[in-house]
A and B are shown apart, each in its own frame.
Chain A
């Protein structure tokens, strides 16, 4: 079953900050693709996506390979079939030649 994914207005502001940084680096499209990928992964199976244990606010990431490293943490409320994103951040690019992709 698909879970609803929500976040707070505070987190929305943080996501928009990151988006502005991505735009400035010419990676706005990639950032959006990464966020869409994160959303679909969490919605499909939040327990698998980040290896997050039920109701445990551990900072396990979801990695959006191919569209720029992004990390989110979320907490799952199974009774509401909802995953709430509680932290979003961006990682430095991984080392290696593929960075130039």
Chain B
């Protein structure tokens, strides 16, 4: 994305959205799992805003909001990938992952379907919510 497409302005606009509005707008955009795809999407929307701004200002206003959340999404995603890359690229992290792979491939690691992990997380959340509700009632 380049500044010539008004990305800075779009990010400022996105910063002003309420979480609810941001969520509504994000749902209208078909983000992909690939940060390059999402950065390209944001750049394309920003260019579209410029292209229609003069002739179709109403359309540009709608597009501008979409472009703003797309730019913000791409910014957050880029930041996260950079941070994650640093986190996962350390010698310690690589050694940890290599050891885990060795345990998996030797059969030493007991493997669990991820659905079971999610089920346990949901159960944990249910218990946490119950405890919080109990604490609130006890305090009142």
Known A59-B93, A86-B100; judge A65-B118 contact (CB<8 A). no
Closest to A26 in B: B132
Q: Verify B112–A12 contact, CB threshold 8 A.
A: yes
Main secondary structure of the interface of B (DSSP, over half): helix
| Residues of B30-69 contacting chain A, CB below 8 A | 31-35
How many A-B residue pairs lie within 8 Å, measured between CB atoms?
A: 153
| Residues of B123-137 contacting chain A, CB below 8 A | 124-125, 128
| B81 neighbours in A (Cβ, 8 Å) | 61, 63
Interface residues on A, range: 35 or more
* Docked pose: A36 CA to B117 CA in angstroms: 10
Chain B interface residue count, CB cutoff 8 Å, equals 49
| Residues of B92-139 contacting chain A, CB below 8 A | 93-94, 96-98, 100-101, 103-104, 109-115, 117-118, 120-122, 124-125, 128
| B23 neighbours in A (Cβ, 8 Å) | 66
* Chain B residues engaging chain A, CB cutoff 8 angstroms: 14-15, 19, 22-23, 26, 31-35, 72-73, 75-77, 79-81, 83-85, 87-89, 93-94, 96-98, 100-101, 103-104, 109-115, 117-118, 120-122, 124-125, 128
Q: Given A8-B100, A12-B120, 13 more contacts at CB 8 Å?
A: A10-B109, A12-B117, A16-B121, A16-B124, A19-B124, A57-B94, A58-B88, A59-B87, A65-B73, A69-B83, A75-B101, A87-B100, A98-B22
